[in-house]
Amino acid sequence: MNIVDRLSVSGGLCACGVCAMGTLLSHMDDRQRLGLSRLIDSPRSVLVALFPYLTGAPSGNLSLYARGRDYHAVIADRLGAVAKAFQAEYPDNHFVVLADDSPLPEVYAAACAGLGCIGDNGLLIHPDYGSYVFIGTIVTDLDLPATEQTPQGCLHCGACRRACPVELDKERCLSALTQQGGTLTEEQAALVREHPLVWGCDTCQLVCPMNKHAKQTDIPDFRQSPIDTLTLADVDGLTRRQFCEKYPDRAFTWRGPAPLRRNLSLKEGDNP
């Protein structure tokens, strides 16, 4: 067992791989490269880890990803422990943990690290966990052996495009729209009103045939104390501080109560 596999297993990672930093550079713009240079000098390798979050039936009005503990904290905890273990074995090298707000093209990095293929909806699809995964990375100036890429590819069946209310238009994505602050246009409000969720969107994932047999997660943080539904009564009248105190560790907390209150009001019949 090589060093990556050994430390990943000891850190409780269920799916991980490595890609060379040079492989990613052609997929990074100047802003991303500058952001990375501020985090670490001379990066050589990227360890990519997946964190599956599927827990069961999709009923509820919150996206499946937002129902358990905030994945940013989960990734930081788990990859932080792995990075610490690497640091102990390689004290002269540097290891930086990144999750979601990373300057790296994470989906492409995961595909290059042999963790799956990129679907037509832009999401990574893992052979076992489907697209119901979060991506975390450790960037290092240590040379690590790269993982072979998977031969599996997207079926290009068109199911996600047909099901998506905005035909996979990233600029109008319902997931981003439900999280957007401020007042919505009439078109945007209509999309939210007709959307089954008040936070996020799972439509393209639910219809993907490659997700049909996706395994459920074993990560306790995503299984324990789930919140699958919110009502207007749950968030109405709450200040941002009160909202954060009521929901301290959820992926929807960072935006405060305003977007959820607006979306719930639209769906429950009142124009906020």
- Nearest partner of 173 among 154, 196, 192, judged by Cα: 192
In sequence order, which residues have a C-beta less than 8 Å from that of residue 97 and are 6 or more positions away? Answer: 75, 76, 79, 80, 83, 136, 137, 138
CA separation for the pair 23, 68 (Å, rounded): 33
Choice among 100, 169, 218, 236 that is catalytic? 100
Do residues 154 and 56 lie in contact, with contact meaning Cβ atoms separated by under 8 Å?
no
CA separation for the pair 199, 91 (Å, rounded): 42
Q: Catalytic site residue 30?
A: no
Q: Please tell me the chain's helix, strand, coil percentages from 3-state DSSP, rounded to the nearest 5.
A: 40, 15, 45
| Residue 139 in tokens | 């960037």
The helix (H) or strand (E) run that includes residue 15 is: strand 15-20
39: helix, strand or coil: coil
Would you please indicate which residues are annotated as catalytic (active-site) residues?
100
